[in-house]
Amino acid sequence: MFSVRLPKDLLERMRERKDVNWARVIRESICRVINEPVIPLTIENLICSLRDSGCWEMLLCLYLKAELFSPQYVARNLDIMYPERASEIISKLDLILREHGLDSSLSGSSGGRSLRDLVKEGLLMHGVYDKFEMDIREKISKEGYDVERAAWLLSQYFVKDPYEWREYSPSIEPHGFIRTLSIMLDKENVIDIIKKLVKIGLIFWDYYESKAYSHEIIREANYASSFFSELFARNRVAVSLSDENLNFLAFLKWLVKNGADFRAVVEYEENEAKREFEGSKPFDEILRDLVKRGIVIIDYWPHRRRAGKRSSMPPYWVYRLTPSAKREVLPLLLIALIKREP
């Protein structure tokens, strides 16, 4: 993504043209100037034909085929979004793909690039991502507090944390998110809320499998990345290091005990780790308060099988500050440190 400076009067005239997709106009103009086709004509014709015919369900199916690891999960997600129609949508798209000479599973390559990547670029270049993003924004605006809060919580997992050691990933293992969301919303079962997020098109279920791992994941929709970034930037959390917040300081001390900015605890040793907490209230009570305030989230590292030189590893619960909380806490810690110096 990049920004373009425009004269104010030109920008106002552009805003008046609600019928024009300016992002698509800019993308197509760049292609013309470079004079280089970004995607093969067959894929371009397929996508444009579906787009111009308003076949958004099949375009979403095409996106899922290109994006997900597991073909079986294409049907699972479509079944949530379009109940009892998943098989029909997949069958229709498969027929169209074959008519265009493309493999229905999108295997293969063209010009040294995978067919899946070319399809995703085609969907982006020809305005399909723009339409999907517009749809999720409209649908989210009609939802209640629980769904909006769940979407904000996802932004804390998906948006790149500038202070985080780990690399950005467009997917998360669901156990930590489900546990955090349950605490945040005071609900034992939050699967229905996650189903709503899938139905909106914000996230999708998928399955990751390798020699070392095999587990479900929750995958961020590519076209929703700007939406998550806005959620992240718009909502701030209130953090204080005052004497009245000694339990938060006690939690920070517990969190960084091993010299990192997070605490990874073997799943079956969690209760023992909690006993190390030295606050004036029980650990779970403090955790509940911090999660509700958007200060702490819980991640999950699944079991890793022995593979090659990599040894096996038990599952871990991972406690860490949200990126939004870090943004507030780190300057406060720096100021407190400077004040303590003679």
> What pLDDT is recorded for position 21?
75
Task: Identify the domain containing residue 80 by its residue range.
Answer: 16-126
Dihedral angle computed from the Cα positions of residues 195, 198, 202 and 207, in that order, rounded to the nearest 10 degrees:
110
User: Which distant-in-sequence residues (6+ apart) come within 8 Å of 58 by Cβ?
Assistant: 50, 89, 92, 93, 96
What confidence tens digit (pLDDT) does each residue in 37-88 have? Answer: 556 888 989 999 999 999 999 999 999 999 999 999 999 999 999 999 999 9
Same domain, 183 and 267: yes
Final residue in a domain of this structure, among 126, 158, 183: 126
> What is the average pLDDT across 203-217?
95
Higher pLDDT, 8 or 230: 230
pTM of the model: 0.84
* Residues 150 and 118 both lie in one domain: no
Q: Which of 13-22, 24-33, 78-87, 214-223 has the lowest mean pLDDT?
A: 24-33
Q: Are residues 208 and 334 in the same domain?
A: yes
Q: Is 182 found in the same domain as 61?
A: no
In angstroms, the CA 94 to CA 102 distance is: 9
Query: Number of structural domains, the chain?
Result: 2
Alpha-helical (H) ranges within 209-322 are: 225-234, 246-255, 270-274, 283-292
- Write the pLDDT tens digit of every residue in 93-142: 999 999 998 999 998 888 788 999 999 989 998 889 999 999 999 999 99
Mean pLDDT (whole number) for 305-315: 89
Q: Are 86 and 72 in contact (CB under 8 A)?
A: no
Does the structure show a pLDDT above 80 at 5?
Answer: no
Q: Looking at the structure, tell me whether residues 96 and 241 fall in a common domain.
A: no
Please check the confidence at residue 189 and state whether its pLDDT lies above 90. yes
